[in-house]
């Protein structure tokens, strides 16, 4: 067991860094600076150069090359915030040594349990060390596992000066979980030829495809009249919202899709007879299908407005991010490098599409090709989150091998 890696992760996990989608500031929560300042000090202790923590909570550092041989400048990136879906305060990680493959009680209250019946991937880690929540908060392995793995790789390099490498750039970002992690990332001064976000999940995963993503906010204006005299007068906006939702394909919801299948996801609904608002996220890996999904919502709204003879329904639409595959395909050698690094530690690389987004997608479109590799974490954004220590150790080895095998 790598106790130092475990200690790093627990130390970071206990710091509340939950981001806030309702905040307009950057970072969205000032408490993200608490982790950033801790990491700033640790990076200094590890001998990093050009350490910069800016006013928006972006933390950068550099480890200069120690070889006269030619290497690319490689970036390693992870995000410091945790998802707003559940509390990140008073995180109390549980360490399960030599996992026996059975149900795990989360905390002493017995209120929540994590079972292989619900999460069959747990069976893959019998005999391993699992780190879970106590059922009351997020664990924060997304992405504090990635931070711990980067920091442990840097620690190893400090202890092993004989390990030859090129210049390494480090970037820790705020607000990734609310889609803003790359907003103020200084790609130019970062100066990497390419980078990897250490923000994946299952052991061996390498990801260079993600969803194209859009957000749709729909407002429905009804007409409220006393129900006793409502005939031919009342327009119930809730019923219009129900009809709109029913016209979207039922089977194209997140709970019925996988792999490359896109979806419409109703994420918010607030309604009265007089007025209803709905919010959807729209996702698809294929750009043509993505555009068709956006058009489908527009067409449904146009149809319902015509049917009612009034412009009762309005739409606000915003593209959020795009599939990074388009930007990675010209530099596929960085994927081959990651595959070689994973294979070298006895793991079969698994190339999978991200069913979500990542800082790497935005950064790739900003000129920094940036695929994603695994951390060993599972079930992010909820109380059933866990991470496997042995997978974290493999992630550290993969990071080091990427640096080693990148020699030109």
CATH number where 349 lies: 3.40.630.10
pLDDT over 80 (residue 107): no
- What's the chain's average pLDDT? 95
CA–centroid distance for 87 within its chain: 17
Q: Among candidates 268, 214, 271, 261, which has minimal Cα distance to 238?
A: 271
- The catalytic residue among 81, 175, 209, 359 is 81
Q: Measured between alpha carbons, how far apart are the two ends of the chain, in Å?
A: 33
For residue 25, pLDDT over 70 is answered with: yes
pLDDT at position 111 = 82
Is 176 known to be catalytic? yes
Domain check: are 166 and 313 in the same one?
no
191 in the same domain as 52: yes
| Residues 238 and 144 reside in one and the same domain | no
Residues 6+ apart with CB under 8 A from 30: none
Q: How many domains does the chain have?
A: 2
**Residue 227 belongs to a domain with what CATH number?**
3.30.70.360
What sign has the CA pseudo-torsion 249, 255, 258, 262? positive
- 69 catalytically annotated: no
Residue range 42-47: mean pLDDT, rounded: 97
Residue 2: pLDDT above 80? Answer: yes
Q: Count other C-beta atoms under 10 Å from residue 44's C-beta.
A: 12
Are 350 and 299 within one domain? no
Q: Which residue is catalytic, options 176, 177, 199, 359? A: 176
Domain with 307, as residue range(s), is: 215-321
Give me the percent of the chain exceeding a pLDDT of 90. 94
Predicted pLDDT of residue 7 = 97
For range 182-187, the mean pLDDT = 95
The yes-or-no verdict on residue 108 having pLDDT over 80 is no
The token pair at 248 is 């979207």
Q: Where are the beta strands (DSSP E) in 17-58?
A: 49-53
Q: What is the pLDDT of residue 110?
A: 67
Q: Give the count of beta carbons closer than 10 Å to the beta carbon of residue 35.
A: 26
């Amino acid at each position: 067991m790598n106790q130092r890696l475990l200690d790093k992760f627990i130390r970071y996990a206990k710091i509340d860094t939950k981001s806030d989608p309702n905040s307009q500031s950057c970072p969205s929560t000032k408490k993200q600076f608490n982790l950033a300042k801790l990491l700033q000090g640790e990076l200094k202790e590890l001998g990093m150069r050009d350490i910069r923590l800016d006013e928006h909570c972006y933390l950068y550092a550099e480890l200069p090359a120690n070889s006269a041989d030619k290497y690319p400048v490689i970036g390693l990136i992870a995000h410091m915030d945790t998802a707003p879906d559940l509390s990140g305060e008073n995180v109390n990680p549980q360490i399960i040594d030599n996992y026996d493959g059975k149900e795990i009680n989360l905390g002493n209250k017995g209120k929540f349990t994590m079972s292989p019946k619900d999460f069959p991937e747990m069976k893959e880690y019998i005999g391993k060390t699992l780190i879970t929540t106590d059922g009351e908060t997020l664990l924060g392995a997304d992405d504090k596992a990635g931070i711990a793995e980067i920091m442990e790789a840097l620690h190893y390099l400090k202890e092993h000066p004989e390990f030859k490498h090129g210049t390494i750039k480090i970037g820790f970002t705020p607000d990734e979980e609310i889609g803003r992690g790359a907003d103020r990332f200084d790609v130019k001064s970062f100066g990497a030829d390419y980078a990897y976000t250490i923000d994946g999940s299952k052991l061996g995963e390498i990801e260079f495809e993600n969803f194209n993503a859009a957000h749709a906010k729909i407002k429905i204006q009804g007409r409220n009249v006393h129900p006793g005299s409502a005939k031919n007068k009342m327009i119930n906006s809730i019923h219009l919202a129900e009809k709109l939702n029913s016209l979207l394909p039922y089977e194209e919801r997140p709970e019925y899709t996988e792999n490359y299948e896109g979806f419409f996801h109703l994420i918010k609904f607030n309604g009265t007879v007089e007025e209803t608002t709905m919010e959807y996220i729209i996702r698809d890996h294929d750009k043509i299908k993505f555009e068709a999904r956006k058009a489908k919502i527009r067409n449904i709204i146009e149809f319902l407005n015509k049917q009612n003879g009034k412009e009762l329904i309005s739409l606000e639409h915003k593209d959020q991010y795009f599939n990074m595959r388009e930007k990675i395909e010209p530099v596929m050698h960085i994927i081959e490098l990651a595959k070689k690094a994973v294979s070298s530690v006895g793991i079969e690389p698994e190339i999978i599409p991200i069913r979500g987004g990542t800082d790497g997608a935005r950064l790739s479109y900003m000129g920094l090709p940036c695929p994603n590799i695994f951390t060993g974490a599972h079930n992010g954004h909820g109380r059933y989150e866990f991470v496997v220590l042995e997978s974290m150790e493999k992630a550290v080895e993969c990071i080091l091998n990427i640096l080693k095998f990148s020699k030109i």
